[in-house]
């Protein structure tokens, strides 16, 4: 993942884009953060944020023309936040806490500012804060003359203006009134200022300025020709500001302040000999591209102050601030347990993943995070810019595998399970008995065979019964675990083997029962025609003897995440359930379904995230769940959510037990089911006998111990092998107090330990555990 | 066959462990623990006769797991 690609991916995530209020404000005052603090009653914290961006908080807090309110997204749900009114309450409460200290420069520059309006004084403030010596020259009798004319005492108390001017003087700004600057030389001439000062700002306000020619170039209408972005004039030491430059502009206090700030930034660059134009981001207000789902918000009306003239009380300001959502995108985080668990969002996660991959020495702290994404595609579906975290995580996993940095323990068990499902113990392919070729081949997948092998037999019989041309059977794994774990070479090996088998079968149409197999085979088997079992079943109908006991049952349907976009399948499954008489409720739309925790092998790399994912889904509806993915069903069952596979409804247990109460078979049970299915099918349909698995030792495992082994990913076969080895070789310990034996064996990449006792009916297992580290006595 | 029920589990005390094959008690001995190309010398209960090393569940699920994970994230 090179840094260019990382930047592109990061740019796709808009979560860090400024919200509308911040983007629209010419000064980009962080109102979202300020309202968050006001909401909590932290007025001094809020005011500190406000005063960091606003040069004259007392004045602006009273008269800001608040362009932010026009773009506030709350207006789509009850009315825009009354930001200006909250600001007023804030500055009236906290203005007295304002403390400012200017930088100290060893060689301060001298800057003359002509005009003591908001633009000129903002420039004076900004440059004074940077440590320069500022002299303001004002033609009128008072600085900020306009504010005295334009605003009533009730709106803008004169004491506020006086306080702001006092603060400015405290910073060392000298204001000379009745000092009208003329053109040319002379004591108050522009040329003299240019000679006496390091830079000059003409913050003039509207009107012609012909007397400043030819020192600075004028426009055709007699105004100083000012570059709109840098505020430079034709004279390198002279800058222009105020509303002088434009015609017909509507007066805006915040616009004037922004104008002065931009001129000050240019003067500071000029004084440092820096470029006036490079990397500027102070163009003023702009539109926000942050996506906000306002439709999900309840409408709430603005708070009306009890005393309109006095404005909000602090409590009213808090209540109004509490109406701020605040604006965030986070559509994926709201939908994804994994992102929420890591308290992250794609932009940040992409950076963390990139950093993790780039570590040469030190700990790779994001390894488990990368392996905790289910690759389910929900984030991409809900993202306004279609950013797919699954693609990013998968790419990262491949890089980790290729560079030898993938932690072995994360996927090792799942890959060994895949190996089992592909081995001669479980996998095989045959044409239909009595047929030399197959028009179609049924591909039940490794999990339906493991979860409900009887269903595979029933469905296969039904397909043979209804379909012409021969229906072969291909019991194998689609390679999803290899793909999900980033093992590219292993995945290629699986796909090559599948293609070879498919070609040997005469290139039939492949019918998959599993949504993951459907996606994987379609994507990686290229030329092979692959279709889902469910639309085919909807075409040919259920068998005559399909059970009718589902009639009247209401279930909530959970679609598998790997099939979220398979519209045809969604329709077929609902139709098939209805034909069994079941009534089906939606949990979410099929497109917005979540993972069951198995996707991306999360349940192996991070059981906590996998369990939280399935529990969140299970809690969405009280009804029993209906699934058509064996893994989803078993994961719901494992977490205590009653759920039935669609085939459980059609072919319920013969003993009459409740199909929605079928337990998760567990990992050992899954392997056993696959192996026994193969033996049974080969014997019953093709008359072939396999050697039954050799039973070397009778081992009994109580339910609690078995459940504990499931959590620790220890198989019955492994425990049996440990005991068989101990009993054959005598290599074991004995606990003199309890009489228990303790034995161990390296089984694959794991050392398994078993504590057991020998009884008349075989070994009774008390405990099993394992570790990956190798230990041996020092010889 | 009725479901087997395990007796209440006891954590084995190393002093009570004997090597069943050699019929001698375990003693603390020097052991090499290795994972992902790294080897560490540790002291663990060992059969002084055949070298059978005992790793308790507490050790396997505790300190040993932490070291394994730390090495995997290097």
> Concatenated DSSP letters for B6-49?
PPPP-PPPGGGEEETTTTEE-EEEEEEEEETTEEEEEEEEE-TT
Chain B residues in contact with A769 (beta carbon < 8 A) = 57, 60-61
Do the chains contact at B31 and A774, CB–CB below 8 Å? no
Closest CB to B3 among A703, A729, A772: A703
Q: Measure the CA–CA gap between A335 and A593, rounded to whole angstroms.
A: 10
Q: What is the DSSP letter of A161?
A: H
Of the residues A744, A771, A774, the best mutation for testing chain B's interface (the one with the most B CB atoms within 10 Å of its CB) is A771
Kindly compute the dihedral angle of the four CA atoms of residues A442, A448, A452, A455, in this order, to the nearest 10 degrees: -20
Q: Measure the CA–CA gap between A121 and A115, rounded to whole angstroms.
A: 8
Both structure tokens of A742: 């303790």
Do the chains contact at B31 and A778, CB–CB below 8 Å? yes
Closest CB to B68 among A705, A773, A779: A773
Chain B residue with minimum CA distance to A404: B72
Q: Measure the CA–CA gap between A203 and A213, rounded to whole angstroms.
A: 16
Which is it for strands A174-176 and A133-137: parallel, antiparallel or unpaired? parallel
Chain A residues in contact with B66 (beta carbon < 8 A) = none
Closest C-alpha among A488, A446, A431, A441 to residue A463: A441
The C-alpha of A298 sits at a distance from chain B's nearest C-alpha, in angstroms, of 45
Is residue B37 within 8 angstroms of chain A, CB to CB?
no
Give the predicted TM-score (pTM) of the model. Answer: 0.86
Looking at residue A338, its pLDDT comes to: 97
Closest CB to A733 among B7, B10, B18: B18
E strand or H helix at A532: strand A530-532
Q: Measure the CA–CA gap between A754 and B62, rounded to whole angstroms.
A: 17
Of the residues B20, B35, B68, the best mutation for testing chain A's interface (the one with the most A CB atoms within 10 Å of its CB) is B20
Residue B58 has pLDDT above 70, yes or no: yes
Q: Measure the CA–CA gap between A383 and A353, rounded to whole angstroms.
A: 19
Is residue B3 within 8 angstroms of chain A, CB to CB?
yes
Chain A residues in contact with B47 (beta carbon < 8 A) = 733
Compute the count of residue pairs across chains A and B with CB atoms less than 8 Å apart. 132
Bridge partners, A429 (sequence order): A474
Chain B residue with minimum CA distance to A775: B33
A residues 311-370 lying closer than 8 A (beta carbon) to B: 362-365, 367
Is residue A779 within 8 angstroms of chain B, CB to CB?
yes
Looking at residue A244, its pLDDT comes to: 58
Looking at residue A272, its pLDDT comes to: 95
Low-confidence ranges of chain A (pLDDT < 50): none
Chain B residue with minimum CA distance to A770: B60
Of the residues B1, B2, B4, the best mutation for testing chain A's interface (the one with the most A CB atoms within 10 Å of its CB) is B4
Closest CB to A737 among B16, B50, B72: B16
Looking at residue B3, its pLDDT comes to: 53
Q: How far is CA A547 from CA A271, A538, A541, A551, in A?
A: 87, 16, 13, 9
Q: Measure the CA–CA gap between A504 and A500, rounded to whole angstroms.
A: 6
Looking at residue A379, its pLDDT comes to: 97
Chain B residue with minimum CA distance to A743: B54
Q: How far is CA A763 from CA A69, A721, A723, A741, A750, in A?
A: 76, 12, 8, 10, 22
Q: For A136, list phi and psi in degrees, rounded to 5.
A: -105, 130
Closest C-alpha among A169, A166, A162, A160 to residue A57: A160
Is residue A668 within 8 angstroms of chain B, CB to CB?
no
Looking at residue B1, its pLDDT comes to: 43
Chain B residues in contact with A741 (beta carbon < 8 A) = 20
Of the residues A606, A773, A776, A778, the best mutation for testing chain B's interface (the one with the most B CB atoms within 10 Å of its CB) is A773
């Amino acid at each position: 993942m090179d840094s260019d690609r990382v930047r592109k991916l990061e740019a796709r995530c808009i979560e860090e884009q400024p919200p509308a209020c911040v983007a629209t404000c010419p000064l980009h005052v962080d109102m979202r953060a300020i309202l968050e603090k006001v909401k909590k009653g932290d007025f001094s914290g809020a005011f500190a944020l406000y005063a960091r961006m606003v040069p004259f908080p007392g004045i602006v807090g009273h008269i800001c023309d608040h362009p932010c309110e026009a773009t506030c997204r709350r207006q789509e749900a009850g009315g825009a936040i009354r930001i200006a009114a909250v600001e007023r309450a804030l500055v009236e409460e906290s203005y007295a806490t304002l403390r400012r200290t200017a930088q100290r420069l060893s060689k301060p520059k001298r800057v003359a500012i002509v005009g003591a309006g908001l633009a000129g004084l903002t420039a004076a403030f900004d440059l004074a804060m940077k440590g320069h010596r500022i002299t303001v020259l004002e033609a009128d009798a008072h600085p900020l003359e306009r504010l005295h004319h334009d605003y009533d005492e009730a709106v803008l108390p004169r004491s506020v203006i006086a306080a702001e001017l006092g603060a400015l003087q405290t910073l060392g700004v000298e204001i000379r009134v009745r000092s009208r600057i003329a053109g040319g030389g002379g004591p108050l001439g522009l040329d003299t200022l240019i000679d006496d000062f390091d830079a000059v700002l003409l913050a003039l306000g509207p009107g012609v300025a012909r007397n400043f020619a030819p020192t600075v170039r004028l426009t055709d209408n007699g105004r100083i020709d000012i570059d709109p972005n840098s505020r430079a004039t034709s004279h390198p030491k002279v800058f222009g500001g105020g509303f002088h430059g434009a015609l017909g502009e509507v007066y805006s206090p915040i616009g004037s302040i922004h104008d002065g700030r931009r001129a000050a930034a240019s003067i500071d660059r000029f004084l440092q000999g820096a470029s006036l134009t490079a990397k500027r981001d102070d163009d003023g207000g702009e539109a926000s591209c942050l996506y906000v789902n306002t439709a999900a918000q309840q409408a709430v009306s603005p708070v009306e102050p009890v005393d309109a003239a006095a404005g909000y009380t602090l409590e009213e300001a808090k209540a109004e601030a509490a109406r701020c959502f605040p604006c965030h995108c986070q559509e994926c985080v709201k939908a994804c347990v994994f992102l929420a668990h890591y308290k992250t969002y794609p932009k940040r996660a992409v950076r963390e993943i990139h950093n993790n991959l780039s570590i040469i020495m030190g700990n790779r702290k994001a390894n488990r995070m990368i392996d905790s994404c289910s690759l389910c595609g929900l984030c991409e579906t809900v993202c306004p810019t279609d950013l797919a975290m699954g693609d990013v995580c998968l790419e990262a996993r491949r890089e980790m595998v290729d560079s030898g940095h993938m932690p072995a323990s994360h996927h090792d068990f799942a890959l060994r399970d895949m190996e089992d499902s592909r081995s001669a113990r479980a996998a095989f392919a045959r044409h239909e008995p009595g047929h030399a070729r197959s028009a179609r081949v049924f591909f039940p997948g490794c999990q339906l065979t493991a979860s409900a092998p009887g269903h595979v037999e029933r469905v296969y019989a039904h397909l043979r019964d209804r379909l012409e041309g021969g229906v072969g059977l291909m019991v194998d794994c689609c390679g999803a675990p290899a793909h999900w774990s980033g093992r590219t070479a292993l995945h290629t090996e699986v796909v090559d083997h599948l293609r070879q088998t498919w070609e040997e079968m005469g290139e039939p149409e492949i019918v998959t029962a599993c949504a993951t197999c459907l996606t994987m085979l379609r994507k990686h088997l290229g030329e092979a025609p692959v279709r889902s079992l469910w639309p085919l079943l909807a075409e040919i109908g259920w068998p005559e003897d399909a059970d009718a006991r589902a009639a009247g049952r209401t279930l909530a349907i959970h679609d598998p995440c790997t099939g979220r976009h398979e519209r045809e399948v969604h329709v077929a499954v609902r139709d098939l359930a209805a034909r069994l008489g079941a009534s089906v409720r939606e949990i979410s739309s099929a497109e917005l379904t979540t993972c069951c925790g198995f996707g991306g092998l999360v349940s192996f790399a991070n059981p906590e995230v996998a369990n939280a994912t399935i529990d969140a889904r299970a809690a969405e509806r009280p009804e029993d769940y209906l699934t058509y993915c064996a893994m989803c069903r078993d994961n719901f069952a494992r977490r205590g959510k009653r759920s039935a596979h669609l085939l459980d409804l059609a072919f319920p247990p013969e003993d009459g037990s409740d199909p929605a109460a079928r337990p998760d078979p567990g990992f050992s049970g899954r392997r056993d089911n696959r192996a026994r299915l193969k033996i049974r099918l080969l014997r019953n349909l093709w008359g072939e006998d396999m050697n039954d698995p050799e039973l070397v030792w009778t081992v009994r495992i109580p339910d609690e111990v078995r459940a504990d082994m499931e959590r620790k990913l220890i198989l019955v076969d492994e425990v049996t092998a440990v005991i068989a080895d101990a009993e054959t070789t005598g290599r074991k310990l004995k606990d003199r107090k309890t009489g228990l034996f303790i034995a161990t064996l390296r089984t694959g990449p794991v050392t398994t330990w078993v504590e057991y006792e020998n009884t008349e009916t075989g070994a009774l297992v008390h405990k099993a555990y394992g570790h990956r580290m190798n230990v041996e006595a020092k010889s | 066959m009725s479901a087997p029920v395990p007796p209440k589990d006891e954590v084995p005390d190393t002093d009570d462990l004997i090597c069943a094959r050699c019929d001698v008690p375990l003693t603390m001995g020097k052991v090499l623990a290795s994972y992902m190309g790294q080897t560490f010398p540790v002291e663990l209960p060992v059969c002084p006769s055949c070298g059978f090393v005992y790793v308790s569940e507490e050790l396997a699920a505790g300190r040993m797991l932490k070291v394994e994970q730390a090495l995997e994230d290097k």
